[in-house]
């Protein structure tokens, strides 16, 4: 049998298993947005090997870590070679000291307990772990446009069904349009009930931070419908005004919300990998079972805890020196955002975001996002992110990331200025 | 509405969402085995606060990392605070240098390409990612006994159905009994076809390393049935004889197998978190679609790459100095295993494993595993792992982990000697 199959292979027939491909994976017709953007980038480099490419596409941090954070991780790593400092498996939910520090740093006045905080390798991964908890038989709503992982993970777990149209909307997803017309907050009167509402603030990609009033409406809507909000606050540290930095600032949220968050953008940990998820004790499924218990089971069974070195770095971030240092990194990127906002504004374009978020959301009326993306790449060697990659509601827009070294941002601004004028 | 609900809460009624609990999670009736063991440990400490507890339960590494590995990670972490050394997101599949080093170190003579290797945060996590690729509509077979994550992840993704009996066997899982009677290799003539065959060698918990002949039979069985083998080689570095260290040593395996592996036990990375998965290009679903492409999509969408510091450590492990150092760690634990094998053998017990694996598998005829576990804990303050926690086929057995400082192992040996004699 083996010989026959190997012969078939040589004959070009090719052995196939009898295992059916997962229909959910078949439903994912396009590639993951940021992989697609990377592919365009590589093609461009091949075509223009000498061009000085500037990447404002994937929102990736560029500035060195503060010394205190890097040296804490280095010390921890070195100590792993000593009998006193060696650590094997840590608690799957994260070390208690870090869970307590997160509770103290971000949730002090809103009484989130450390036992409700799960330390993980990032919010992108937590979204899938939450989908594993929820399973295929719930319905979801997403903002349109939104971070593609909500929809993609929903398709993968089997909630979403297949695409119903060319704009890659799924049959079973409720899309909540967020546009300049509605101040980037969905019209909840016309929104159908869904079990799960993904909501991101400050928003990726639009850069809009939801106001307190908007979030109060959202929580009320969830409570009226018995829905669970999965609130993505990965960019909370970029809020410069008094918009809520956590959904748990809103009364009544503890019984209807989960929060996913991250050190990636807070502290430049995109490569170090560290995040957390808050699941309040009061959050119950319809049968009264605590959601927290099921998430804990998934974290223990499908995950083994975040790297202990990364956790040591997280703890250093939350020291008073660390917090000060990460705040000045945030300010650095926000100054970039201001430069980009000014650039596009001075070109007469419609510009959103950039005030409470490291993303600038620019409209190109009448144009397709991917066309503008390609044209800017071809002519200015700047990578952006096409708005339509975040959903139909992002068509005509580009997302411009403010992550980058200041020199690159200024150079990008110069190139964009000459291209558009 | 919010006010009314908050009042209901105060009145002790308690707000519930209308989101149904996932039936797959409901099917997971017991806790994750190693969490259960940890709970027993904590209860014991409470009861005997002064006892000198020795933990041979969870297979957790205890010896400090070799200097070269720790210092490489420390250097990498420190460099993250410099403009030259800072790195943001890495490739989701892992850095090319590490993928190449893994290919070179473990798969040199069996031509696995670096592009077929996905670097991740560990094989426990990869098993769930593979389940996401496969989805609910495939059938699985597991060895009995086996590492509980195979069955648990299968229940979570919805393949397994609920438990059909008190031994916690699932309705839709094919159990392949592995016992001393069949030299720990299933009788494939009486094994029903399953789409997916989980197979672990050297085996957790029995400590048996499958022979070349056994693995040839397994590959032939998979090919005849069009099945996919998910081969767990996390303990391959403990093989001391000429048993295959990779399923890809077997001709014909590339078209029917995936391999998950890990730095956890190879290099003491249980807390650092680093592993890898090999998905050969030739592995195809029944419709001809490459499994590798779907795994790549999951890795990009549901994961963001392993911590870059851990990857730097992995690279150091695979330097010639690193390989030598990790080999002596493995030898250290294997000497522990020999001590434990001798201890139980001299007590007249039936003892397996410990020759090609850091686990010793001891039979207590006529006894329930959990009873022996409790008795040993109560009387000797030694934590073990009850065999029945790994499946019905593990009843009457205990798994003894050889991970531990030599002093602890010798002390455990002494205590066990006096308890049983």
| Residue appearing with tokens 């049983």 | B420
Q: Do B80 and A62 touch (CB under 8 A)?
A: no
Q: What is the pLDDT of residues A363-399, one digit of tens each?
A: 999 999 999 999 999 999 999 999 999 999 999 999 9
Q: Do A19 and B285 touch (CB under 8 A)?
A: yes
Name every chain A residue with its beta carbon within 8 A of the beta carbon of B255: 5, 9, 15, 17
Nearest CB partner across the interface for A78, out of B16, B74, B224: B74
Q: Which of B204, B179, B173 is nearest to B191 (CA)?
A: B173
Q: Which of A406, A419, A418 is nearest to A54 (CA)?
A: A406
Average pLDDT over residues B279-289: 98
- A24 DSSP 8-state letter: H
What residue of B is the nearest CA neighbor of A6?
Answer: B252
Please check whether residue A168 is in contact with residue A193, taking contact to mean a CB–CB distance below 8 angstroms: no
Is B14's pLDDT higher than 90? no
Q: Do B20 and A65 touch (CB under 8 A)?
A: no
Q: What is the pLDDT of residue A304?
A: 93
Cβ contacts from A onto B, under 8 A: 357
Q: What is the pLDDT of residue B36?
A: 87
| pLDDT tens digit at each of 421 positions of chain A | 455 555 555 555 689 999 999 999 999 877 778 888 989 999 999 999 999 999 999 899 999 999 999 999 999 999 999 999 999 999 999 999 999 999 999 999 998 999 999 999 999 999 999 999 999 999 999 999 999 999 999 999 999 988 877 778 898 999 999 999 999 999 999 999 999 999 999 999 999 999 999 999 999 999 999 999 999 999 999 999 999 999 999 999 999 999 999 999 999 999 999 999 999 999 999 999 999 999 999 999 999 999 999 999 999 999 999 999 999 999 999 999 999 999 999 999 999 999 999 999 999 999 999 999 999 999 999 999 999 999 999 999 999 999 999 999 999 999 999 998 8
A266 Cβ neighbours under 8 A, 6+ residues apart: A236, A237, A317, A326, A330
Name every chain B residue with its beta carbon within 8 A of the beta carbon of A138: 19-20, 22
Please check whether residue A131 is in contact with residue A149, taking contact to mean a CB–CB distance below 8 angstroms: no
Nearest CB partner across the interface for A271, out of B19, B88, B300: B88
Token pair in block for residue A285 = 């499924």
Please check whether residue B116 is in contact with residue B292, taking contact to mean a CB–CB distance below 8 angstroms: yes
Name every chain B residue with its beta carbon within 8 A of the beta carbon of A147: none
Q: What is the pLDDT of residue B164?
A: 79
Name every chain A residue with its beta carbon within 8 A of the beta carbon of B279: none
Q: Domains of chain A by range and CATH? A: 29-64+323-420 (3.90.1150.10), 67-321 (3.40.640.10)
Token pair in block for residue A224 = 């009226």
A105 Cβ neighbours under 8 A, 6+ residues apart: A318, A323
Cα separations in angstroms, B315 against A115, A264, A372, B87, B323: 35, 23, 41, 16, 10
Interface ipTM > 0.90: yes
Site from A19, A68, A250, A321 to mutate, B interface, most B CB atoms within 10 angstroms: A19
Name every chain B residue with its beta carbon within 8 A of the beta carbon of A64: 80-83, 85-86
Residue A405 Cα to chain centre, angstroms: 21
Residue B234 Cα to chain centre, angstroms: 6
Cα–Cα distance for residue pair A263/A98, rounded to 1 Å: 12
Q: What is the largest CA-CA distance in chain A?
A: 71
Please check whether residue A156 is in contact with residue A23, taking contact to mean a CB–CB distance below 8 angstroms: no
Q: Which of A410, A388, A387, A418 is nearest to A400 (CA)?
A: A387
Nearest CB partner across the interface for A14, out of B28, B284, B300: B284
CA distance B218 to chain A (A): 12
Please check whether residue B102 is in contact with residue A284, taking contact to mean a CB–CB distance below 8 angstroms: no
Q: Do B307 and A302 touch (CB under 8 A)?
A: no
Cα–Cα distance for residue pair A280/A289, rounded to 1 Å: 12
Q: Any idea how long chain A is?
A: 421
Q: Do B157 and A132 touch (CB under 8 A)?
A: yes
Nearest CB partner across the interface for A73, out of B77, B138, B156: B77
CA distance B97 to chain A (A): 16
Q: Any idea how long chain B is?
A: 421
Q: What is the pLDDT of residue A165?
A: 78
Nearest CB partner across the interface for B288, out of A16, A23, A60: A16
Q: Do B309 and A128 touch (CB under 8 A)?
A: no
- A18 DSSP 8-state letter: S
Site from B23, B31, B74, B247 to mutate, A interface, most A CB atoms within 10 angstroms: B74
Name every chain B residue with its beta carbon within 8 A of the beta carbon of A289: 21
CA distance A364 to chain B (A): 28
**Neighbour-count burial of A191, counting CB atoms closer than 10 A to its CB (0-12 exposed, 13-18 middle, 19+ buried):** middle
Cα–Cα distance for residue pair A245/A27, rounded to 1 Å: 35
Name every chain B residue with its beta carbon within 8 A of the beta carbon of A283: 17
Please state the φ and ψ torsions of residue B379, each to the nearest 5 degrees: -90, -30
Nearest CB partner across the interface for A87, out of B1, B122, B271: B271
Is B6's pLDDT higher than 70? no
Cα–Cα distance for residue pair A346/B292, rounded to 1 Å: 47
- Asked if the peptide bond before residue A338 counts as cis, ω within 30 degrees of 0, the response is no
Please check whether residue B19 is in contact with residue A195, taking contact to mean a CB–CB distance below 8 angstroms: yes
Q: What is the pLDDT of residue B96?
A: 98
CA distance A356 to chain B (A): 22
CA distance A174 to chain B (A): 16
Please state the φ and ψ torsions of residue B170, each to the nearest 5 degrees: -95, 150
* Bridge partner list, B397: B363
CA distance B296 to chain A (A): 10
Q: Do A308 and B271 touch (CB under 8 A)?
A: yes
Please state the φ and ψ torsions of residue B173, each to the nearest 5 degrees: -110, 135
Name every chain A residue with its beta carbon within 8 A of the beta carbon of B128: 132, 301-303
* Bridge partner list, B229: B197, B257
Three-class secondary structure assignment of B137-167:
CCCEEEEECCCHHHHHHHHHHCCCCCECCCC
Q: What is the pLDDT of residues B152-198, one digit of tens each?
A: 999 999 999 888 777 788 989 999 999 999 999 999 999 999 999 99
Q: What is the pLDDT of residue A4?
A: 54
Q: What is the pLDDT of residue B12?
A: 53
Q: Do A64 and B81 touch (CB under 8 A)?
A: yes
Backbone conformation region of residue B167, classed left if phi is above 0, alpha if psi is from -120 to 50, else beta: alpha
Site from B273, B310, B407 to mutate, A interface, most A CB atoms within 10 angstroms: B273
Name every chain A residue with its beta carbon within 8 A of the beta carbon of B289: 21
Q: Do B285 and A17 touch (CB under 8 A)?
A: yes
Q: What is the pLDDT of residue A30?
A: 74
Name every chain A residue with its beta carbon within 8 A of the beta carbon of B88: 60-62, 268, 270-271, 403
Nearest CB partner across the interface for B301, out of A19, A85, A153: A153
Q: Do B16 and A285 touch (CB under 8 A)?
A: yes
Q: Do B128 and A302 touch (CB under 8 A)?
A: yes
Q: What is the pLDDT of residue B30?
A: 74
Q: Do B60 and A294 touch (CB under 8 A)?
A: no
Name every chain A residue with its beta carbon within 8 A of the beta carbon of B220: 1-2
Is B80's pLDDT higher than 70? yes
Provide the pairing of β-strand B359-363 with B196-200.
unpaired
Cα–Cα distance for residue pair B317/B326, rounded to 1 Å: 7
Q: How many CB atoms lie within 10 A of CB A18?
A: 12
Name every chain B residue with its beta carbon within 8 A of the beta carbon of A305: 271, 273
Q: What is the pLDDT of residue B162?
A: 81
What residue of B is the nearest CA neighbor of A286?
Answer: B18
Q: Do A31 and B228 touch (CB under 8 A)?
A: no
- A260 DSSP 8-state letter: E
Nearest CB partner across the interface for B301, out of A136, A149, A302: A149
Position B33 confidence tier, pLDDT thresholds 50, 70, 90: confident
| Residue appearing with tokens 């016992």 | B179
Average pLDDT over residues B355-368: 98
Nearest CB partner across the interface for A21, out of B17, B28, B285: B285
Which helix (H) or strand (E) segment holds residue B348: the answer is none
Q: Do B137 and A71 touch (CB under 8 A)?
A: no
């Amino acid at each position: 049998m083996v010989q026959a199959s190997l012969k078939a292979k040589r004959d070009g027939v090719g052995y196939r298993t009898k295992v059916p491909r997962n229909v959910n994976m078949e439903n994912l017709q396009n590639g993951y947005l940021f992989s697609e953007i990377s592919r365009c980038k590589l093609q461009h480099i091949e075509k223009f090997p000498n061009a000085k490419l500037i990447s404002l596409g994937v929102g990736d941090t560029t500035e060195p870590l503060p010394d205190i954070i890097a040296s804490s991780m280095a010390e921890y790593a070195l100590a792993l070679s000593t009998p006193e400092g060696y650590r094997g498996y840590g608690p799957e939910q994260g070390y208690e000291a870090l869970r307590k520090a997160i509770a103290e740093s971000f949730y002090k006045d809103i009484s989130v307990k450390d036992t409700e905080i799960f330390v993980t390798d990032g919010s992108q991964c937590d979204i899938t772990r939450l989908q594993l908890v929820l399973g295929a038989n719930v319905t979801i709503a997403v903002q349109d446009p939104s971070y593609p992982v909500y929809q993609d993970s929903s398709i993968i777990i089997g909630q979403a069904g297949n695409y119903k149209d060319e704009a890659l909307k799924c049959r079973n997803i409720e899309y909540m349009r967020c546009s300049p017309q509605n101040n980037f907050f969905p019209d909840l009167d016309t929104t159908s009930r869904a079990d799960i509402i993904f909501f991101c603030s400050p928003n990726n990609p639009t850069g809009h931070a939801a106001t307190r009033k908007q979030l109060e409406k959202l929580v009320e809507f969830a409570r009226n419908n018995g829905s669970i909000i999965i609130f993505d606050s990965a960019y909370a540290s970029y809020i410069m005004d008094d918009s809520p930095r956590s959904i748990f600032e809103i009364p009544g949220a503890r019984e209807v919300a989960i929060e996913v968050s991250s050190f990636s953008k807070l502290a430049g940990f995109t490569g170090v990998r560290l995040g957390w998820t808050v699941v309040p004790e009061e959050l119950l499924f319809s049968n009264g079972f605590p959601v927290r218990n099921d998430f804990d089971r998934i974290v223990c069974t499908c995950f083994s805890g975040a790297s202990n070195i990364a956790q040591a770095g997280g703890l250093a971030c939350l020291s008073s020196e660390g917090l000060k240092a990460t705040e000045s990194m945030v300010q650095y990127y926000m100054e970039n955002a201001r430069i980009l906002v000014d650039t596009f504004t001075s070109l007469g374009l419609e510009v959103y975001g950039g005030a409470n978020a490291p993303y600038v959301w620019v409209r190109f009326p009448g144009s397709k996002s991917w066309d503008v993306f390609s044209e800017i790449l071809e002519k200015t060697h700047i990578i952006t992110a096409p708005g339509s990659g975040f959903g139909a509601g992002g068509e005509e827009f580009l997302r411009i990331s403010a992550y980058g070294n200041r020199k690159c941002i200024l150079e990008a601004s110069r190139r964009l200025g000459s291209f558009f004028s």
